[in-house]
Structure 1
Amino acid sequence: MENSGTSSFLRTRRLESCFNASSSLSVKETPKRSAKEELRSKRRADIYLDEDGWGSVLISWIRIVLCFLTMMVTTFLWASIMLVLIPWPYERIRQGNIYGHVTGRLMMWILGNPIKIEGAEFSNKRAIYISNHASPLDIFLIMWLTPTGTVGIAKKEIIWYPLFGQLYVLANHLRIDRSNPTAAIESMKEGFIHLALQSRLPIVPMVLTGTHLAWRKGSLHIRPAPLNVKYLPPISTTDWTADKIEDYIKMIHDLYVKHLPESQRPLEL
């Protein structure tokens, strides 16, 4: 990853538009579209179109199998390291991050999606990192791109994931109870605010786009859609106060609304 602040491309691929505008119409001849058609047009721009032929599906399955095998090998290796480091919790956190960097990077390399990274100069700050989540790919990207020393937060059921879940616990990461979905969402919305109030660390929002098109939830077909990771400038929390929690939540919400494409924007508060 480059730390110069300019966008870095890990891999490039040209994505041609599937909708070619006709050049034969003059300005006066352009049909007027309704507000509904305008909305559909905006959403269409966020859609990645890819043929679901048997060849594409076969390649996708091969990549998924390779990812699974790779994760099993790296997880077993780092689990062995973690067991040795049980008396040293901070070292286990550090090794958990190194595992994430290696495994996440390998996974993304196997999957082959072109990735653009923006705002890399904010990627190694001592801060609270938050991100949107719409696809399993988000997990691999976050594992790879968060700095060493980061403590993650996941659902408590992660412990039942073979090897990976046990490694997560060994790495001293945090787990939350999501048995009550409404309460879990509220606790997550306010959780990072309370962390900021206690630690006074800045908040660095990570905006992930394209992952929901590359790997949709509930699907086993990974498409070669381009992905974008953007680190936004750190938000200072030194003067935050406990009586303005809702204001801070809205501010972060509005930031994501501003930087995400329409199809990925969070629901209105």
Structure 2
Amino acid sequence: MENTGSGAFMRNRRLESFLNTSSGQRVEESPKVSVKDESERRLRTDKFADDDDGWFLMIISWIRIIICFVSMMVTTFIWALIMFVLIPWPYERIRQGNIYGHVTGRMLMWILGNPIKIEGSEYSNKRAIYISNHASPIDIFLIMWLTPTGTVGIAKKEIIWYPLFGQLYVLANHLRIDRSNPTAAIESMKEAVRAVLKNNLSLIIFPEGTRSKNGRLLPFKKGFVHLAIQSRLPIVPMVLTGTHRAWRKGSLHVRPAPLSVKYLPPISTENWTVDKIDDYVKMVHNLYAQHLPQTQKPLAEVPLVKTMAEGSSL
């Protein structure tokens, strides 16, 4: 099922392919390529592709980013006042935090103007643990907009120092994890599960634990599986594509690249057991790798050019 959204900014366009194209060199003439050399070549290609967009487009991009920042300041100030009034009612603060996210996330994506394709939206309103790959600041805007009301995020405790967003995150009663040592992290996870079960909430988490620098899927940490086993909530993967090309990590240049958000069917965790945690992490990671375009697959997943001599290797 495909849903392109009802907002004025949504455009009914198909996601363009970002697959790497062949150089046209014949197989028998291809030099022998090592895994290390091929990995470095692909990293350079991903980093520098589309960098030369011209000054005019860069100025437009900076204007969009400034408008996004100012708009976010306004909505954050408004909802911060609402949160202060609702301090005695924690669940209402979570709900208002979700409404803030829906309004602000959608508004920011409209300002940026990227065409967005949404698939599998029938899975977007279930009580579940939502997980997402993470390669761009745009991922945050999309998650804010597209996760259902009654969803709390889990982030490192240091998020409170992020200007505007961090303070509202805490006011909205979202969850924070102390990752300073394993014991503290485990206890934080247990507290998160207790809060989720007590208030009938959903969760959203980035299983990579950090943002990918080049869009390629990073290894998953085990935290989301521990949460699933303790809460017995299903896992709904959200596969984001194209965001790393639209807004790269550390860049102030937003490109009009097409984006895609695909909800995969819920994964039941009712019968999951602690002794198979590594298997579950690998299974979900492989599921993501299957649904990502070639330029976002983990490097180990990228097939190498073979020579005639080789034949056909939290």
1:163 maps to a residue whose letter is: L
* TM-score normalised by structure 2 residue count: 0.72
2:101 aligned partner: 100
Q: Is the Cα contact below 8 Å between 1:256 and 1:266 reproduced in 2? A: no
Q: Per the alignment, do residues 195 and 20 of structure 1 end up closer, same or farther by CA in structure 2, a change over 3 Å counting?
A: closer
**Residues 218-237 of structure 1: matches in 2 within 5 Å?**
218-237=250-269
Tell me, in whole angstroms, the C-alpha distance in 2 between the residues paired with 1:227 and 1:47. 19
Tell me, in whole angstroms, the C-alpha distance in 1 between the residues paired with 2:225 and 2:55. 47
2:120 maps to a residue whose letter is: G
1:197 to 224, 229, 232: 229
Q: Per the alignment, do residues 45 and 13 of structure 1 end up closer, same or farther by CA in structure 2, a change over 3 Å counting?
A: farther
2:93 maps to a residue whose letter is: R
1:113 aligned partner: 114
1:123 aligned partner: 124
Q: Is the Cα contact below 8 Å between 2:232 and 2:270 reproduced in 1? A: yes
> How far apart are residue 111 of structure 1 and its match?
0.2
**Residues 70-219 of structure 1: matches in 2 within 5 Å?**
70-177=71-178, 189-219=221-251
Tell me, in whole angstroms, the C-alpha distance in 1 between the residues paired with 2:293 and 2:72. 31
Gaps of 5+ in 1: none
Tell me, in whole angstroms, the C-alpha distance in 1 between the residues paired with 2:228 and 2:278. 14
1:6 aligns with 2:2: yes
2:286 aligned partner: 254
> How far apart are residue 120 of structure 1 and its match?
0.6
Q: Per the alignment, do residues 251 and 52 of structure 1 end up closer, same or farther by CA in structure 2, a change over 3 Å counting?
A: same
1:192 maps to a residue whose letter is: F
Q: Is the Cα contact below 8 Å between 1:11 and 1:115 reproduced in 2? A: yes
Q: Is the Cα contact below 8 Å between 2:116 and 2:261 reproduced in 1? A: yes
Tell me, in whole angstroms, the C-alpha distance in 1 between the residues paired with 2:261 and 2:73. 26
2:2 maps to a residue whose letter is: T
Provide the aligned C-alpha RMSD in A. 3.4
Gaps of 5+ in 2: 186-206, 210-219, 302-314
Q: Is the Cα contact below 8 Å between 1:114 and 1:227 reproduced in 2? A: yes
Alignment partner of 2:151: what SS? coil
1:11 maps to a residue whose letter is: R
Tell me, in whole angstroms, the C-alpha distance in 1 between the residues paired with 2:113 and 2:136. 16
Q: Per the alignment, do residues 47 and 265 of structure 1 end up closer, same or farther by CA in structure 2, a change over 3 Å counting?
A: farther
1:53 aligned partner: 54
Q: Per the alignment, do residues 108 and 157 of structure 1 end up closer, same or farther by CA in structure 2, a change over 3 Å counting?
A: same
Tell me, in whole angstroms, the C-alpha distance in 2 between the residues paired with 1:162 and 1:189. 26
Q: Is the Cα contact below 8 Å between 1:92 and 1:170 reproduced in 2? A: yes
> How far apart are residue 178 of structure 1 and its match?
5.1
Q: Is the Cα contact below 8 Å between 2:133 and 2:208 reproduced in 1? A: no
1:206 maps to a residue whose letter is: M
Q: Is the Cα contact below 8 Å between 2:228 and 2:269 reproduced in 1? A: yes
Q: Per the alignment, do residues 264 and 202 of structure 1 end up closer, same or farther by CA in structure 2, a change over 3 Å counting?
A: same
> How far apart are residue 189 of structure 1 and its match?
1.8
Tell me, in whole angstroms, the C-alpha distance in 2 between the residues paired with 1:48 and 1:215. 13
